[in-house]
Amino acid sequence: MKPLQRILHVEDDISIQEVAKVALEIVGGFEVTSCDDGQSALSRADAWQPDLILLDVMMPGIDGPTTLGKLREQPSTQAIPVVFMTAKVQPSEIEHYRAIGALDVVIKPFDPMTLAEQLRRIWEQHHV
């Protein structure tokens, strides 16, 4: 199994970007690139080819689910796994995100000390 290394984090809130960077880079030891909207995520994912995209659901402009759709249309990003991040917790919504192709959903607010571990677990579950 290929280990999880490169994570693209898409999030419009700079504060959350920064805390996630600490959580993933320093605590988790991943390589992280952040961008703050769906549009730039499309080009960044194409150019940087991350192992996984951590995608915020609610964003101004194009939102998370729409971004996911567009990633799936782009051949170069078609196969990159996407994990949604959302502050909504209704089980029906989580099911919905899985149905449209998300690997899993991470609930906001996340704990910066365990976020990396959570992603690693999701990664392993889906590659075993």
Chain residues binding another protein by CB under 8 A are: 13-22, 26-27, 33-36, 58, 86-87, 108-113
Least distance (Å) from another protein to the CB of residue 115? 8
Least distance (Å) from another protein to the CB of residue 112? 6
In whole angstroms, give the CA distance from residue 4 to residue 92: 28
Find out whether 67 and 49 touch, Cβ atoms under 8 Å: no
Q: Which is nearer to another protein, 89 or 126 (CB)?
A: 89
Q: For residue 9, give the nearest of 46, 44, 60 by alpha carbon.
A: 44
Least distance (Å) from another protein to the CB of residue 127? 27
Specify the 3-state DSSP secondary structure of 24: helix
Least distance (Å) from another protein to the CB of residue 92? 14
In whole angstroms, give the CA distance from residue 123 to residue 16: 22
In whole angstroms, give the CA distance from residue 21 to residue 9: 8
Specify the 3-state DSSP secondary structure of 7: strand
